[in-house]
Chain A
Amino acid sequence: MSVNYGSKRLVVGAHYGLRDWLGQRVTAALMALFTVVLLAQVLFSAGPISYDKWAGIFASQWMKTLTFCVIIAMLYHVWVGMRELWMDYVKPIGLRLVLNTFSLVWLVGCAGWAIQVLWRL
């Protein structure tokens, strides 16, 4: 049986594994969709890919919105993945904390940079 400490916090029990599992699938599906959409726009454009053509792909509002969602999805997806690697391979708790912190800073920094690039297009 799971025990609740406080009013909401579930310390053990089912469902938070499911949440991570499902989140990983949903974010993966979104990124796969983005890959197909981007690839289609590159492949179905005639001639060599010039700057105008390439930047034009990301300039439309719907593509910007989709790319923004994909950046957020990637942030979440990679965090879950890296956390899993550190949990499996790094046993010393102090080192694991450092690596988890590094992963978060690295990912949030990358996501911020990517969104900045997207925003000024």
Chain B
Amino acid sequence: MTELAKKRPEFRNINAFKDLPSYRWPLASLVSGMHRISGAIMFLLMPFIIWMFDNSVSSEISFAKFKFAFNVGMLGLPGFIWKLLALALIWAYLQHFIAGIRHLYMDVNHAVSKEFGRSSALATLVLSLGLTVVLGAKLFGLY
């Protein structure tokens, strides 16, 4: 082994402030990181998800409350804040769902190669961000 090859940086305990800015994020690892972030977002917002489920199915009155929260506001927060939260959930769900399908596909087909990892990661990001824009535009009434 040459001296040059030996001097590559070694990460044992990654420091978020010192190491992450210089940390390389190939597309496949970006999708992996986003899988964790989107999962954590859905975990933290789970009471909001169930609040939406509760109010949207329980009765006509709660259904109206549900719509009111997004169109006008709730708990002193204007409607667009709740729409932004819903948008975060839409992104998180799409990202987690599509990346999850990619996982399952790779497991079933043993599709493990560097090229497929990269191209499928790119497809995941394009698809999830594209659908988020389409559904986000609908959520904010742009069409």
Contacts and interface: CB of A to CB of B under 8 A. Distances in A.
Interface of A: 25, 28-29, 32, 35, 51, 54-55, 58, 78, 81-82, 85, 103, 106-107, 110, 113-114, 117, 120-121
Interface in B58-105: 58-60, 63, 97, 100-101, 103-104
B104 A29 contact: yes
B107 A110 contact: no
Given A120-B58, A121-B57, A85 B97 contact: no
A54 B50 contact: no
Interface stretch (B3-11, B20-28, B35-43, B114-122): B35-43
B63 A54 contact: yes
A90 to B, nearest CB: 13
Describe B's contact surface by its main secondary structure. Answer: helix
Contacts of A32: 97, 100-101, 104
Given A25-B104, A106-B46, 14 more contacts: A28-B104, A32-B104, A51-B59, A51-B60, A54-B63, A78-B39, A78-B42, A78-B43, A78-B46, A81-B39, A82-B39, A85-B36, A110-B50, A121-B57
